[in-house]
Amino acid sequence: HTKYVFLAAGSSLTGQSDFRKFEKARKLKDHIDRIREDYRAQLKDREMAVRQRATAMYLIDRFALRAGNEKSSEEEADTVGCCSLRLEHVLLEPPCTVTFDFLGKDSIRFFNKFEVDPDVFKNLMLFKKSKEPGDLMFDRLSTGSLNKHLSSYMEGLSAKVFRTYNASITFEQELEKNMRQLPAGASDTARVLAYTKANRQVAVLCNHQKSVSRNHAASMEKSEDKIRGHKYERRLARLELLIDGPKLDPETRASCLVEESDLDEEWMEDYEKSTQQKKLETLTKKFLKYDDPETASIAKANRKGDRLTPVEIYAAKSPKEQQAIKAKEFEEAEGITDEMKRKRERLMAGKRSKAGMSETVFLKLKKTLQAKTDAIHAAKALLKDRDEGKETSLGTSKTNYIDPRLTYAWCQKYGTKADRVFPKTLQTKFKWAAATPADWEF
């Protein structure tokens, strides 16, 4: 029996291999202009083999197609790449539209429509002439001959290096563009969303797909309910400022008069009930923990300083006192729904509170108003990001195609922790890149 031994992701040899791969792709930027100039000129070459090679190079460079390798067995899946495309995989629509439809690596469907250079379109029309649907589009080209030609520009250059190069350069450009669009003082969450958006552009370029999660619709609905919850709290804060508060400046007053969308009577009643239910569940978990004798011992052992923790204070009480604490907290929680409803109905009816409003409460409500507005914007952006990415796999491009030094440089520049964008596995895999300075460029 054959036994395979694989290097750990964080091993120095694996790190060296990754470093060399990304450095090779980075070196390509010194040659890419000359390569592009040459293949564009060769699109009109008199020799058919040269035209085919130039056309394939255009497709590989422009649309991140894999070169494709010859099959070693007839039993393997019918997966193809650029060099092994058949006529049946390519649909041409004048003047310059090309639709590709084939199974790529790992039997993932590549189905995309592109606008191409007029000379490329003419060549593809020419390559299809007098052929059957099952015939090769590039019948005078192989992956081996293509890579041999590419190595004449740069030692070790092959078609797959273009994929790494274009993924990294696209990520760098998209990330820079996204960061420029953020307002000054943008939150860390907004920066991470800008990073994810750039990551997604690369995943789309490289055709990294995934099936939509079975829980996607439920997850989206839950997120939408969370946004409505923020809107509910903001609406009440606005009404409270209008009705109970002192005279407001015109700008604040105008913002308080804005109605909230998606808040019908039935939803608000359900929200009030669910708020109470969540509080009761939290209390149940809390007292299950507090009633465990080990909890107080652990809290005491981990405590810093002389001040007792809440669980220690509770543990020091008599059983009767503990029961009274529980009863009081549960009684208060069981009145949440009614209390929320009474307050909502009073404010929506425009009735002032008898107690009025102190300066402290006024300032607190203004802060709540801004906090809820910020939370709504952040949650909406996250919701949009999640929906746009439901069919795109971000992990593959981060693991294999985007130079990790771009991520670490970005983290250094904006003070974002690496674990916001890299899971532990990638931090281990790319520890060689962790010290990348903020001004590093691909």
Burial pattern 211-231, b for ≥16 Cβ within 10 A else e, equals eeeeeeeeeeeebeeebbbbb
Helix axes 188-205, 359-388, angle to 10 degrees: 10
Q: What CA–CA distance (Å, rounded) separates 16 from 409? A: 19
Sheet holding 97-103, edge to edge: 90-93, 97-103, 109-115
Which residues contact residue 184 at a Cβ distance below 8 angstroms, ignoring those fewer than 6 apart? Answer: none
Active site residue 232: no
Q: Which residues contact 289 (CB under 8 A, 6 or more apart)?
A: 295, 311
**Which one-letter DSSP state was computed for residue 381?**
H
From 358, 374, 334, 133, select the one nearest 230 (Cα to Cα). 374
Dihedral angle over CA of 100, 105, 108, 109, nearest 10: 10
Evaluated on CA atoms 35, 52, 25, 204, the torsion sign reads: positive
Of the residues 39, 290, 314, 401, which is catalytic? 401
As annotated, the active-site residues are: 401
